[in-house]
Structure 1
């Protein structure tokens, strides 16, 4: 029953990530139209091609770095899935794991299809200009990892 929560959280995280990328990058054509101010400065759409990890760290144009990041993402997904499948974890832990896995797989698909991760979200606030772009998968990965850390050791409900 708990594995079902993990599956559905992962499924919806993956689907929402891929749908958001399709809408912003292809339907709204942010790459060619330029920047789209949604709620400036809080939310702007800015096209980005991330060949590294979050915040553009470990950028590399080589095919080797692309496949290393794909492999690393898949190993992390497998480890999280195995860990959650072996133990008795709360429903929220399983949902957190699903969010992390679904987001990671969304970025893996980008790397397989394009050679990089499609990013389009830019958020700034309070006079601080954020130069980085990210995507919905990154939000799910962060939320899932935070949930796994904060909820670990809590009694299953």
Structure 2
């Protein structure tokens, strides 16, 4: 009989690490730049640290309403709970890692920041590299998590195809 080890613990550990790194980086940036919108300092080469208050979500949706803030918080809670329950059944480490990054990013941005500040603290500015958005560690975690889930999907599909041809 084949033993299947559940990998959910990976997701929970990665989520916790993502939240800690995200919040530490935001406390550091707030102590460095303060809360003034647009405050900026050069960091490394084309990277600047720029304070941006992100009140909305992608493409500025819901940015001008207080109810939008609470809607995003509620939606994030549902997503985090859903992913946390779903990932308990993960048997491969790659999707567990990806979901952990997404959970940690959602908690850091859409729960902690929106409750504490009323907006998401964004500060990594690479606009000099023609990337127009300012982002943070939690955003990076969500993006990397989605990329890992896509990679796992492609690898799993490739694995299925190779077994079918044998």
* TM-score over 0.5 for the pair: yes
CA contact (8 A) 1:84 1:97 kept: yes
**Matched residue, 1:45:** 49
Q: Distance in 2 between matches of 1:148 and 1:133?
A: 24
Number of aligned residue pairs: 149
Q: Distance in 1 between matches of 2:128 and 2:122?
A: 19
In 2, Cα distance between equivalents of 1:83 and 1:143:
19
Taking a change above 3 Å as real, the CA distance of residues 88 and 114 of structure 1, as seen in their structure-2 partners, is: closer
- Tell me the CA shift for residue 9 of structure 1: 0.3
Task: Give the equivalent residue in structure 1 for 2:99.
Answer: 97
Post-superposition offset of 1:73: 1.4
CA displacement at 1:30 relative to structure 2: 5.0
Question: Is it true that 1:19 corresponds to 2:21 in the alignment?
Answer: no
Q: Which residue of 2 aligns with 1:6?
A: 11
Q: CA deviation at 1:57?
A: 2.2
Please report how far the alpha carbon of residue 2 of structure 1 lies from its aligned counterpart in structure 2 after TM superposition.
Answer: 1.4
> What is the correspondence of 1:8-157 to structure 2 with a 5 Å cutoff?
8-26=13-31, 28-31=32-35, 34-41=39-46, 43-54=47-58, 56-85=59-88, 87-107=89-109, 108-125=111-128, 128=130, 130-152=131-153, 154=156
Distance apart, 1:74 and its partner CA: 1.6
* 1:18-71 CA-partner distances (Å, limit 9, x unpaired): 000000112x12545931111232x110001001114x5204232200011111
Distance in structure 1 (CA, Å) of the matches to 2:119 and 2:50:
15
Stretches (4+) displaced over 6 A: none
Partners of 1:30 and 1:36 within 8 A in 2: no
1:72-103 per-residue CA deviation (whole Å, 9 max, x = no partner) reads 11222222222222x34311211111111001
**RMSD in angstroms over aligned alpha carbons?**
2.1
State the structure with more CA Rg. 2
Where structure 2 has 5 or more consecutive residues not aligned to the other structure, the ranges are: 1-5, 160-166
